[in-house]
Amino acid sequence: MRPQHIEAVTVNHNTSLYTELMLRSLFAKHSASLDLSFTVVDNASEDRLSALRNLAEQFGVALVQSGFSTQTAGNSHGEILSRFVHHHPDCSYYLFLDADICFVEENTIPTMLAELTACPEAFGIGARLTDWSGEKEIAEQYRELVYCSRLHPCCALVKNTALFRTVVEEIGLSCIRYLGAESETYWDTFTLMTKVMRTHGLRHILSSKKVLHFFSVSYPSDDKEVVERKEHRRDELLREFQQQSG
């Protein structure tokens, strides 16, 4: 096992243009010395997959099918990530990335790696999230729910340990509904895993680095105007990175 080898994964769910932006920004903002292998797992997307396939080949990124589709009844994200961990046991770290993020700062992943290594009681580290400007961190009142109470998988680096793999094998990374006596609570992807790791005295930390996150593009919940504004911003950034790479 290479001492700092990272296995990175993202799920493409009819989000090929967002995934292209994420990949282009990742490679533009990081040096070639980063020891990282990348896999895009696709849910039989029906959008511009051929262009994404060409880009993946250019960057040496594996593009594989999940066996799910965009018509699958439930949210398959956590299950796909659990399977990825199961099939990649020999790395030093896992890097989980949402398709709808954009790297806006230089060398985000090496910084996260150094910060995680310096904190023995941390099992993983998450990037801070910005609004669509890529500069201003999301409002403080949202941070607890979004990434303080759990390790958010939109940009999360996790140590590959026997404990982490066991938790993934036994309970998985999927979202759940926790049924109480008088109410039920929705726990999003990675929440249950984060809580289980805490029972072992391990916690997640937040990086000094930030990434832009569009939020909720794989399973849209926004109205048409917000969707169009997101797409406009995505396309602006995508053109910038395309021009940089020639």
Q: Residue 246 and residue 241: Cα distance in Å, rounded?
A: 9
Q: Two tokens at 73?
A: 């009844």
The pLDDT of residue 246 = 61
The whole-angstrom separation of Cα 41 and Cα 25 is 18
Instruction: Identify the pLDDT of residue 217.
Output: 87
- Predicted confidence at residue 208, as pLDDT, reads 98
Closest CA to 190 of 85, 38, 111: 85
Q: At what angle do helices 162-171 and 191-198 cross, to 10 degrees?
A: 130
pLDDT of residue 207: 98
Residue 3 parent element (H or E): none
CA angle, 185 then 189 then 193, to 5°: 90
CA separation, residue 52 to residues 14, 63, 78, 188 (Å):
11, 9, 22, 28
Give the integer Cα–Cα distance in Å for 109 and 158.
11
Q: Which helix (H) or strand (E) holds 159?
A: strand 155-159
Q: Looking at domain 6-245, which CATH architecture does it have?
A: Alpha-Beta Complex (3.90)
Close Cβ partners of 27 (under 8 Å, ≥ 6 residues apart): 59
- Report yes or no: 119 and 208 within 8 Å, Cβ to Cβ: no
State the pLDDT at residue 216: 84
pLDDT value of residue 71: 92
Q: What is the pLDDT of residue 87?
A: 97
Mean pLDDT in order along the chain per 10 residues (246 residues): 88 97 96 89 93 95 96 93 97 97 97 97 98 91 94 98 98 96 95 98 98 88 86 96 83
Pairing label, strands 203-213, 122-130: parallel
Q: Are 211 and 170 in contact (CB under 8 A)?
A: no
Amino acid 222: pLDDT: 67
Tell me, what's the pLDDT at 166?
A: 98
Query: pTM surpassing 0.75?
Result: yes
